[in-house]
Amino acid sequence: MLYVATLLLHCIPLALGQYDICKSWVTSDEGPSWEYYACQPKPMIMKEYAMVKVDPPGITCGDPPERFCTHENPYLCSDECDASNTDLAHPPSLMFDREEEGLATYWQSVTWRKYPEPLVANITLSWNKSIELTDDLLVTFEYGRPTVMMLEKSLDYGRTWHPYQYYADDCMEAFGMPSRKVRDLSASSANRVLCTEEYSRWAGSKKEKNVRFEVRERFAIFAGPDLRKMENLYTRMESNKGLKDFFTFTDLRLRLLRPALGGTYVQRENLYKYFYAISNFEVIARCKCNLHANACTFRDGGLQCECEHNTTGQDCGRCKKNFRSKSWRSGSYTPIPHGSPNACAAAGSAFGNCECYGHSNRCSYIDFLNVVTCVSCKHNTRVSTAKTVGLATTGTSLLSG
């Protein structure tokens, strides 16, 4: 019964979308065996698993308590931030909570009371896991979007950082580069780092709140505006590692360099209306499992790929102990539509050499039973378990037909 249940678990039809299953039990003229596919997990709401750090120390408002104003009523400074009062505190966790009844909760920085010293805040999101963006990254600001900021990413758990996108009301003045839009990129420049002015000019704090990192528009360069031709994107990712790596990271860092100014120059007589406030930080992505897993779970304090294809590790980045007859490789998106699993192989598995005593040259490893079986046996024989090298506990039984 357990055998049947396990088969059903692994034989889910390809109805969930591309690269949703890793293997299927199939029957051919040569007998039943596993058929392996490249596979990847579904996208997830990654903010629920992020560890957040805000620096420099003391940049979060409320310690000591501080009043602040809004651009709509710059001289009515009756609002207060007080870290010791739950109703008046604005800790970093409020960037990732669920809003209730339309009431926005948000992290807030101190005001720019130390002007002209720069008001700089760094917000770092860490997953201790490689993940791949699958949708636009969205940051929602209350009381105005920053006039200058930049988004950075790390591929090595925060040891080194690389620019992802620049944002400014004047890109040339702030970063010495012209303003560009993603929609103007081509297939050869889809992973170019840009500066955009689209999200930094004053539009009123109650109107435009969102800042985006446009992932879907970059996908659309290959997959079309409705993203119906994702196979074109996947094919390009196979031939262009830089494009694939562009959407991959372990950490994100948002560097806030100058707050909203209300469409004017800094008014030094009232510095309490200049600050940062973020109510939402949305990251839709999938775990990077190197196309060796279709599930990713949170356990032991972190995200972990549920590895298939005889691979193991947090990202399925190496072969299991007894499956190293050839070097580890990532799965491949191509050929479309199922890709290539590039499964790790044990000597004696379906991907190596097995001993069936001259009665078959085809084997299949059944991972949930931890055995290698001969298939398509000839000469009126059947072999229940093949003799292998590399699997320490495999018996052999040759039976007459």
- Give the integer Cα–Cα distance in Å for 329 and 325: 12
Distance CA 79, CA 73 (A): 11
Q: How far apart are CA 185 and CA 191, in angstroms?
A: 9
Q: What is the rounded distance in angstroms from the CA atom of residue 241 to the CA atom of residue 12?
A: 31
Q: Which two tokens stand for residue 347?
A: 């000597």
- Burial of 202: CB neighbours in 10 Å, binned 0-12, 13-18, 19+: middle
Residue type, 399: L
pLDDT tens for each residue of 41-89: 999 999 999 999 999 999 999 999 999 998 877 677 878 999 999 999 9
State the Rg of the chain over Cα. Answer: 27
Q: What angle do CA 122, 89, 254 make, to 5 degrees?
A: 15
DSSP 66-77: EEE--SSSTT--
Closest of 351, 329, 327, 251 to residue 49, by C-alpha: 251
Does residue 44 sit in helix, strand or coil?
A: strand
Contact present, 376 and 360 (Cβ < 8 Å): yes
Residue 234: CB partners within 8 Å, gap ≥ 6? 18, 333, 334, 336, 339
Q: How far apart are CA 325 and CA 352, in angstroms?
A: 7
401 residues of the chain, pLDDT tens digit each: 333 333 333 333 323 347 999 988 888 777 788 889 999 999 999 999 999 999 999 999 999 999 999 887 767 787 899 999 999 999 999 999 877 766 889 999 999 999 999 999 999 999 999 999 999 999 999 999 999 999 999 999 999 999 999 999 999 999 999 999 999 999 999 999 999 999 998 877 667 899 999 999 999 999 999 998 999 999 999 988 899 999 999 999 999 999 999 888 899 988 999 999 999 999 999 999 999 999 999 988 899 999 999 999 999 999 999 898 889 999 999 998 899 999 998 865 544 444 455 455 455 555 544 455 555 565 555 544 444 333 333 333 334 33
